[in-house]
Structure 1
Amino acid sequence: MASWNSTHLEVLYNVLGWLAFVSWSISFYPQVILNFRRKSVVGLNFDFVLLNLTKHSSYLIYNASLFFSSTVQRQYREKFGLNEMIPVAANDVAFSIHAVLLTVFTLAQIVMYDRGNQKVSKTAAVLVSVAWLAAAVCVFVAIPRHSWFWLVSCFNTIQVVMTVIKYIPQVVLNFRRKSTIGFSIGNILLDFFGGITNYFQMVVQSIDQKSWINFYGNIGKTMISLVSILFDILFMVQHYILYPSSKRTSDNPISVSNEPLLGTSDDPLSESV
């Protein structure tokens, strides 16, 4: 089994990993708090939340399997090298568990609070159904072959696809409304920092091991960082540059729920994204 060559790099790896965990975990709360204060989820795209649940559930299956299962770890090393370090850390598992729980809680808020005319689109429902159907097919293929690492890699692929897709409905919704009211920018800033620290955690491991296999050995972790960073920058451009008036209004979340256009027939939110 691989071991760390530098104690300092090992410490830095763990520090970056838990910084990413803290940042990404806290990033869920600004939206949850905003929903609670407004008693409304108008402005939060439901497709984003539903796709996010599929993404984080798939990522949890991958992370937990590769971190805890010696069989999956053995098959990983058989594919990428017997001396390769497992590219999943404890903070990855902890984040995945927390992300699933908070996403489920956000879905509960969608059920409880004012939704206006918003709803989950048929497109999102179909995408989620296809993703889990594909996962079921992979399970049936893997069982007779005992291809457990291949199976969890299928879940990792699903989470990569969901990571790419999940942000698009919210970007489109902000564009249609010409506003980011109801969508917390605090979530995005923390998500951006988490993506940066998560990526550099992988860089530190590669430097210590003198190998870049962990980047494509765990393509999901690589993509979750890069895609998150890309879309977070886009959301920041929307919030601070394209639709800056939304920032001033969202500073008072209570007033947002009284916006005359929210929930009316003329509101772009009445269209399913």
Structure 2
Amino acid sequence: MASWNSIPCRVAYEVLGWSAFFCWSVSFYPQVYLNYKRKSVVGLNIDYALLNTIKQVYYMIYNASLYFSPYVQKQYGNKYGHKQMNPVALNDVAFSAHAVLLSAFTLYQIGIYDRGGQKLSRTTAGMTVIVTLASIVCAFIALPSRSWLWLISIFNGIQVALTIIKYIPQAVFNFTRKSTEGWSIGLVLLDFFGGVANFLQMIMQSVDQGSSKNIYGNIGKLLVAVVSIVFDILFICQHYCLYPPKKSEADKSENPVNAV
């Protein structure tokens, strides 16, 4: 596949890519720590947690296939041109693998900590079954002709759809509770900066190549960044503007003037 034309562009691409990896990877830990500290997952929507795990699995399959498989890369070249660069970077593969592990660990925490009576919705359960069955059917369709690029593109589309859907239960959950307690704002802020870095990384590759094919050749990566940024802005508004954290009794006693 194509190589870089500009060393500064390549350096900027790598810096932005690993910045996105750092922000998005570290973003899992504030929620994991908050769950551990409280011994509770009350405030973390279970539907969000499950949909996020499934989304990360599909994203990992797409990234790993396009990055490591010469056969898939050849099919990508046949479709978009062999002079195009691989739209998947090593940081994408590293992030998605890490994300699967941490998402699965968060589900484990949901299984052992207090959930406050919260249960998985029938909608999410049904959606999980439908996505799984559809993926199996697509795999059987792709098998005879070995249309692996087509298959992982379907998977990429699924993970984009799940990215859009997964945030909605958490946003609605915060709205109905009129609170973001139990939902880590650290996760949101790091996710926001990771999305920005991820978006700029794709732009940098387009600038170097003088082409936008890397963007619509991996439209899923672009949409994930944009969707994450939009919902993170919503969560930031919920946390700091609509439902600011309430002061504890200890804080009120330390600041009697503000407590009046």
How does 1:165-204 map onto structure 2 within 5 Å? 165-204=165-204
Deviation at 1:112, TM superposition (A): 0.6
Give 2:46's aligned residue.
46
Mapped to 1, the partners of 2:23 and 2:128 lie a distance apart of: 27
Identity of matched residues, %:
61
Give 1:32's aligned residue.
32
Q: What is the one-letter code of the residue matched to 1:52?
A: N
Deviation at 1:151, TM superposition (A): 0.7
Q: What is the one-letter code of the residue matched to 1:10?
A: R
How does 1:13-28 map onto structure 2 within 5 Å? 13-28=13-28
Could you give the per-residue CA deviations for residues 187-227 of structure 1, whole angstroms, max 9, x where no partner exists?
00000000000000000000000001111100110111000
Could you give the per-residue CA deviations for residues 164-206 of structure 1, whole angstroms, max 9, x where no partner exists?
0000000000000000000000000000000000000000000
Give 1:3's aligned residue.
3
Could you give the per-residue CA deviations for residues 102-141 of structure 1, whole angstroms, max 9, x where no partner exists?
0000000001111111011010111111111111111000
Give the ranges of 4+ consecutive aligned residues of structure 1 lying more than 3 Å apart after TM superposition. none
Give 1:106's aligned residue.
106
Could you state the TM-score of these two structures normalised by the residue count of structure 2?
0.94
Could you give the per-residue CA deviations for residues 227-269 of structure 1, whole angstroms, max 9, x where no partner exists?
00000000000000001135x45x99xxxxxxxxxxxxxxxxx
Q: How well do the aligned residues superpose, as a CA RMSD in angstroms? A: 1.2
Mapped to 1, the partners of 2:183 and 2:77 lie a distance apart of: 42
Give 1:81's aligned residue.
81
Give 1:255's aligned residue.
none
Number of equivalenced pairs: 250
Give 1:234's aligned residue.
234
The reply to whether residue 150 of structure 1 matches residue 158 of structure 2 is no
Mapped to 1, the partners of 2:108 and 2:155 lie a distance apart of: 25
Q: What SS does the corresponding residue of 1:245 show, helix, strand or coil?
A: coil
Q: What SS does the corresponding residue of 1:86 show, helix, strand or coil?
A: coil
Mapped to 1, the partners of 2:108 and 2:245 lie a distance apart of: 29
Gaps of 5+ in 2: 252-260
Mapped to 2, the partners of 1:98 and 1:55 lie a distance apart of: 13
How does 1:116-265 map onto structure 2 within 5 Å? 116-246=116-246, 248=247
Could you give the per-residue CA deviations for residues 65-95 of structure 1, whole angstroms, max 9, x where no partner exists?
0000000000001111110101000000000
Mapped to 2, the partners of 1:52 and 1:116 lie a distance apart of: 20
Mapped to 1, the partners of 2:177 and 2:34 lie a distance apart of: 18
Could you state the TM-score of these two structures normalised by the residue count of structure 1?
0.90
Mapped to 2, the partners of 1:131 and 1:237 lie a distance apart of: 32
Q: What is the one-letter code of the residue matched to 1:198?
A: N
More off after superposition, 78-87 vs 187-196 = 78-87
Mapped to 1, the partners of 2:129 and 2:111 lie a distance apart of: 20
Mapped to 2, the partners of 1:245 and 1:41 lie a distance apart of: 17
Mapped to 1, the partners of 2:105 and 2:146 lie a distance apart of: 35
